[in-house]
Amino acid sequence: TRFKLAILDECDAMTRDAQMALRRVMEKYVKNVRFCLICNYVNKVIPALQSRCTRFRFQPLAETFVKARMETICAAEGIRMDEAGARALIHLSEGDMRRTLNLLQAVTMSAPAVTEEAVYACAGKPLPSDIEAAANWLLNESLPEAFERMVGLQRNKGVALVDILLMLHPYVAW
């Protein structure tokens, strides 16, 4: 018997009711359909669906692979990308090729070239140089001065405080 294959990407974005309906569909067509559910956050998939699936976890892709693929795409599409821009894309995508490609596409739509500044601006994340400056303020200035500078960084760059704090962590972690 040949099976049909149904692939559902981003199934973790489905509502609980939709997931329950999918469970019933999976039960109804178990004899002739194999379902492939793809998600980013398995904890957002209801246990009733999880119990009917075999789980595969994929490790982040190697930086060399991501960089080579980006370079191939940029060459084919005529996109200008400098080394710092490539490093920024790799850093922010954390080995997720889909995230890399989505960010690359967004940057090319908003900037003439893929540079570090363009990548971080498009992602809405603070530049590493801004984080370095923030770490310096927090370690070397009075609390009111450091607070004012942090608020200024947040306001002027349009970045979220949580992103600043998350990127500061490696500077202060032992």
For 159, the domain range is 128-172
Helix or strand run (H / E) with residue 70:
helix 63-77
Two tokens at 120? 């971080």
Q: Judge if 115 and 82 occupy the same domain.
A: yes
Q: Judge if 160 and 134 occupy the same domain.
A: yes
Residue 57 domain-assigned? no
Last residue of a domain, one of 89, 105, 123: 123
Q: What is the mean pLDDT of each run of 10 residues along the chain (174 residues)?
A: 92 97 96 94 95 92 96 97 97 94 97 96 93 92 93 89 88 70
State pTM to two decimals.
0.75
* Whether 38 contacts 10, CB under 8 Å: yes
Q: Judge if 119 and 151 occupy the same domain.
A: no
pLDDT of residue 157: 86
* Whether 108 contacts 114, CB under 8 Å: yes
pLDDT of residue 1: 67
Residue 21 domain-assigned? yes
Q: Judge if 80 and 114 occupy the same domain.
A: yes
Q: Judge if 119 and 132 occupy the same domain.
A: no
pLDDT of residue 170: 83
Q: Judge if 113 and 69 occupy the same domain.
A: yes
Phi/psi zone of residue 94: left (φ > 0), alpha (ψ -120 to 50 degrees), beta? Answer: left
In this structure, what CATH number is given to the domain that contains residue 115? 1.10.8.60
* Whether 36 contacts 6, CB under 8 Å: yes
Residue 56 domain-assigned? no
Q: Judge if 117 and 80 occupy the same domain.
A: yes
How many domains does one find in the chain?
3
Q: Judge if 43 and 67 occupy the same domain.
A: no
Residue 55 domain-assigned? no
Q: Judge if 90 and 116 occupy the same domain.
A: yes
